[in-house]
Structure 1
Amino acid sequence: MEIQSEKHKSVVNLPIELSIAELSKHLNIQVQGLIYEDNDKEEGFRIKVWKRAPIVAEARDSLLFYTVPLKIWGEKTFQVLGISNAQATEFQVNLKFMTRFGVDPDWKVRTQTVSAGFDWVTKPSIKVAGIEVPITGIISRKISENLEKFSKAIDDNIRGNFVVKPYILQAWNLVREPRLLSEEYRTWLAVTPTDILMTPFNVRNGKISATLGIRGFTQTLTGEKPTIKPVTDVPNLIITPDVPNGFQIGLIGVVPYEEASKLAATQFIGKTFDFKEGKYKIEVTSVDIYGQNDKLVIKAGLKGSINGIIYLKGIPYYDAKTRLLSLKNVDYDLNTRSVLVQTANWLLQGRFAKQIEQQFVFPVGAQIEEAQKAIRQQLTTRKVAKGIDFGGRLDSLDPDQVYLTPTSLVALIVAKGHVEIKIDGLL
């Protein structure tokens, strides 16, 4: 099995935050001066509306509430004894709205703003023939008739300026960029994203927030840096109540068979083993190693009480405590066992295979430590673009499996942690 095919499903978290204070600031910049004017000739009524103070936004019950302070000038034309007489007045009201946020699968921001009524600050009245005439009824009706227009204007403003997709595309390409884990071993971390998840928007603590998760496969590759071309689009959004947290990376420790044979030769060649209280003795004259299916084969040359070549097989595994590649269940292969039963049964009954198992170890800790150090360095919080911060942490290293490729012993250690790309300042 090729280690390059080993992949781990992971999620990169992308908390998105929009400050309500920033949104209010943006709305106040957009809404300036005269914001509404109407001339109802049939009723003989004219009205002009200005923003008199900054728009205030606050979060309550997962909704965004706005208060829009207005100054209104109104003029009513009356007929008195056949003579037209226009009387003007000024007054103040606070319009109230509430907005619910969402994002459609095609990444368009969806807002639903509805009126929450209005409060009088000062009530309008005019004097006709010296008599004060309240006109709150007609003013209330005019305001109510236009609340839907105001709601639509707020929605249009937010949708036109609250842009998400360009940031997601930037984060998507950032995730896809290969990261160097080890220059010495030419090891790269590659992430292949598959889809994007998102929780519904939440409004609290002065922010409009949601969590996105770019889900995909992580793997470690050896060799030249993989060539990844930036993409120009991202998949449709999947809305989910919860975005999983955490990533997994398969770190690899590689021991080529040639190197393993050299290490084993240093350990065993020239070493003498005795059996039956010294009655039989053998000396190891050569050692060679190669993989066969899921087992490591040890080809050992012997001289002494028996001369020739024997073959042992064992299952390789990574010992997290010692950070060594080791063997377990070492035993003679069937052909060797068949011959020894007839010619050297004492070797079968001895501890030779067990001693080989105990002493047959290869250090890969330095490689894993270097990769671990590189990951932690890559996860250091830093700003990678305007409005985008990248960071994370490494929580644990867990042994996974040892694979035998055509040329090497490869220990796979799963690094688990948390990766976060924070997106802010969407306006």
Structure 2
Amino acid sequence: MLQKQPFVTCFRLSKSLLFLPVVCFLVLTGCQPSTTTQPKAPTESYKHTNMDIQSEKHRSTVHVPIELSIAELTRHLNTQVQGLIYEDNDRQEGFKIKVWKRALIVAEARDSLLYYTVPLKIWGEKSYQVLGITGAQATEFQINLKFMTRFGVDPDWKVRSQTVSAGFDWVTKPSIKVANIEIPITGIISRKISENLETFSKAIDKNIQESIEVKPYVVQAWNLIREPRQLSEEYRTWLVVTPTDILMTPFQVDKGKISTSIGIRGFTQTLTGEKPTIKPATEIPNLMIVKDIPKGFQIGLIGVVPYEEASKLAATQFVGKRFDFKEGKYKIEVTSVDIYGQNDKLIIKSGVKGSINGVIYLKGIPHYDAASRTLSLKNVDYDLDTKNVLLKTANWLLQGKFAKQIEQQFVFSVGDQVDEAQKAIRQQLTNRKVAKGVAFGGRLDRLDPDQVYLTPTSLVALIVAKGQIDVKIDGLL
């Protein structure tokens, strides 16, 4: 600490007493004695730890659209349904029947239902006894069976289809003649077909439910979302998504596709350090059916300025800088700058020399400016104890521009960190196929400033990146 300089050293006194009044005047007006200020230091304290900031969770939903091409489903049904598909031998009525698929099954979408037509060729044989003549007569004819199916998924992820008959159309009708006498069998065949329509419907549902699996794809998407993604190699920053539950909209059948949307809802966090270890999940929560899936995710990006670095930057800015007060009557020079936190305020410890010697303490509220992407201070003012000391020893400093200039020039850029994080996120959201039938993509829409935190080691600006993540699933067959 600088020692007080006796005011008598400011001037060389003449032996002549005639100059004494002049000397006294100069002493009183041109050479003010310096004073020492040593106010009590504000207590260092913090409301948040670095882990608290990393644990800051942002509710998000990952959108997972699922589509199944009706053409693909129809191809699958045509592959599964081949050749002889039904046979009946009713001895009581003396009637035999065999049914084959005649042509390709055709499907179309209407009113959120899947309608399809199954063209069939039917061979029928009817035993008869006419005018004492006993025998059997066979015939072939064609019909088109019609069905409609509604799709759904149960909470345990099993695909549910509800197929019902929509009747049938005759293409050619059966006809048997014995001795030029027509034997009516159309009614018998119609009844037989009607009796078995429910059996056909159940067979279609069984085939669909055994062929279409949703759960393995959703488990794959669940684990894909949980995989940590590096945002910054330099700052060792990782994006971690912790899913909590799964939402799903009812199936829609439209424009040649059967589609639904799944929303994997959870929390996003930005962690620093080594890559987090995430064990792959084999099970997922039960499904919740909802009308709409909220779209959008939020990621907390962290801009960090350690106190040590902030102190060095501030020292470069202020140490050696001189300030004049009262038109040059008082002067001080900044000799050192140190920074730490007290709850939500940043403390600036400034060493000074000149008209006062010692230290003074100022307080300010940390602020992140989105336009300039900088950390700065608002409402900078002297600490209460410093203010009380200055009121007694250097009231002129309280009325000057020192605190205001500190506020204006106390600025730290975190733009590079934010740019790097944005670039990493956009790279992670690039559309790409990550597995058969699973594609990952998304976009980053905007950055919203959230809050500036003071931790025991750093100023931390939390900026919320908002956008959308899509994990698209198709090709379920």
| TM-score, scaled relative to structure 2 | 0.89
Quote how far apart the aligned CAs of 1:134 are: 3.6
Aligned to 1:107, the other structure's residue is in SS state coil
Residue 65 (structure 2) aligns with: 15
Q: How does 1:334-349 map to 2 (within 5 A)?
A: 334-349=384-399
Quote how far apart the aligned CAs of 1:85 are: 1.4
Residue 227 (structure 1) aligns with: 277
Answering whether residue 89 of structure 2 is matched by residue 39 of structure 1, we say yes
Residue 415 (structure 1) aligns with: 465
Quote how far apart the aligned CAs of 1:237 are: 0.5
Once the two structures are aligned, what percentage of the paired residues are identical? 82
Higher strand proportion (structure 1 or 2) = 1
Which shows bigger deviation, 150-159 or 272-281?
272-281
Residue 12 (structure 2) aligns with: none
Quote how far apart the aligned CAs of 1:369 are: 0.2
Answering whether residue 255 of structure 2 is matched by residue 198 of structure 1, we say no
Q: How does 1:86-105 map to 2 (within 5 A)?
A: 86-105=136-155
Count of residues in Structure 1 that have an aligned counterpart in Structure 2? 427
Residue 120 (structure 1) aligns with: 170
Answering whether residue 78 of structure 2 is matched by residue 28 of structure 1, we say yes
- Which amino acid is the alignment partner of residue 124 of structure 2? G
**How many Å separate the matches in 1 of 2:367 and 2:245?**
34
Residue 355 (structure 1) aligns with: 405
**How many Å separate the matches in 1 of 2:283 and 2:428?**
25
Residues 162-198 of structure 1, C-alpha deviations (whole Å, 9 max, x = no match): 1000000010000000000000110000000000010
Which shows bigger deviation, 33-42 or 338-347?
338-347
Residue 373 (structure 2) aligns with: 323
Quote how far apart the aligned CAs of 1:98 are: 0.4
Residue 475 (structure 2) aligns with: 425
- Which amino acid is the alignment partner of residue 361 of structure 1? V
Residues 251-272 of structure 1, C-alpha deviations (whole Å, 9 max, x = no match): 0111110000000000000000
- Which amino acid is the alignment partner of residue 471 of structure 2? I
> Which protein has the larger Cα radius of gyration, Structure 1 or Structure 2?
2
Aligned to 1:423, the other structure's residue is in SS state strand
**How many Å separate the matches in 2 of 1:219 and 1:79?**
84
**How many Å separate the matches in 2 of 1:129 and 1:405?**
104
Quote how far apart the aligned CAs of 1:355 are: 0.8
Answering whether residue 463 of structure 2 is matched by residue 405 of structure 1, we say no
Unaligned runs of 5+ in 2: 1-47
**How many Å separate the matches in 1 of 2:94 and 2:387?**
112
Residues 66-107 of structure 1, C-alpha deviations (whole Å, 9 max, x = no match): 100000000111112333211111000000000001111110
Q: 1:332 aligns with which of 376, 382, 390?
A: 382
Q: How does 1:13-412 map to 2 (within 5 A)?
A: 13-412=63-462
**How many Å separate the matches in 2 of 1:184 and 1:386?**
33
- Which amino acid is the alignment partner of residue 338 of structure 1? N
Residues 221-256 of structure 1, C-alpha deviations (whole Å, 9 max, x = no match): 011000111011000011100000000000011111
Residues 107-127 of structure 1, C-alpha deviations (whole Å, 9 max, x = no match): 011111000000111111111
Aligned to 1:426, the other structure's residue is in SS state coil
| TM-score, scaled relative to structure 1 | 0.99
**How many Å separate the matches in 2 of 1:332 and 1:134?**
109
Aligned to 1:307, the other structure's residue is in SS state strand
Unaligned runs of 5+ in 1: none
**How many Å separate the matches in 1 of 2:184 and 2:239?**
74
Residues 10-42 of structure 1, C-alpha deviations (whole Å, 9 max, x = no match): 010000000000000000110000000000000
Quote how far apart the aligned CAs of 1:157 are: 0.4
**How many Å separate the matches in 2 of 1:384 and 1:194?**
22
**How many Å separate the matches in 1 of 2:457 and 2:470?**
37
Aligned to 2:356, the other structure's residue is in SS state coil
**How many Å separate the matches in 2 of 1:105 and 1:167?**
15
Aligned to 1:171, the other structure's residue is in SS state helix
- Which amino acid is the alignment partner of residue 20 of structure 1? I
**How many Å separate the matches in 2 of 1:338 and 1:148?**
93
Aligned to 2:313, the other structure's residue is in SS state helix
- Which amino acid is the alignment partner of residue 165 of structure 1? K
- Which amino acid is the alignment partner of residue 172 of structure 1? W
